Amino acid sequence: MTSIFEGTLIRLRAREPEDAPLLYQWFNDPEVTEHLAMRYPLSMKSEREFVESVSSPGYAHAGFAVETLAESRLIGGVDLINIRPECRCASLGIAIGDKSFWDGGYGTDTMRTACHFGFAMMNLHRIELEVYANNERARHVYEKVGFVLEGCRRQALYKYGRYQDVLVMSLLEGELRLDHRP
């Protein structure tokens, strides 16, 4: 039996203090943060404090480092946050910070693994996320694993000198596509 924390390409694990320098590097890279809500540079101090605050995943914040199965190499992070037990709902955020792993199936495998964990271990019924309308790569991944478009928050984000639409997508228990085809 495979671990609930493992996909076909990745493993979810707790964040460790030694992850902070790499996270600091990624989240100060404009190409990595282009489609994230981040807009200001991060200090190493703030990144260390963040890692410390989320280093013990739990029901209130199930945040994980994402590493490759083959090399145990840190490539990103994924978080289930804003968990509402009464509704069995959570919001999901993902970032593959290591650009050499973009477009290789790692984001898709991370999404499948994190959602499977949310449904199987956290008893969630609904996982939702927001994505910028112009982020075609992410939208493709989300649709591939089963997320459905629910609506558009028109011009809800101002970044790079223009307003952007923000799309709301969700996945319900039983809708996750676990087929691991690329």
Domain boundaries, the chain: 10-128
Q: Please name the fold of domain 10-128.
A: Aminopeptidase (3.40.630)
Residue 89, number of CB atoms within 10 A of its CB? 18
DSSP summary character for residue 18:
G
| First and final C-alpha spacing in the chain | 22
**How far apart are alpha carbons 113 and 142 in whole angstroms?**
13
pLDDT over 50 (residue 182): no
pLDDT over 50 (residue 143): yes
Q: How much is the pLDDT for 180?
A: 55
pLDDT tens figures, 45-103? 998 988 888 877 888 889 999 999 999 999 999 999 999 999 999 999 999 999 999 99
Length of the chain: 182
Which residues have C-beta within 8 Å of that of residue 32, sequence separation ≥ 6? 26, 95, 97, 99
Average pLDDT over residues 26-50: 90
Contact indicator for 55, 20 with CB cutoff of 8 Å: no
pTM over 0.75: yes
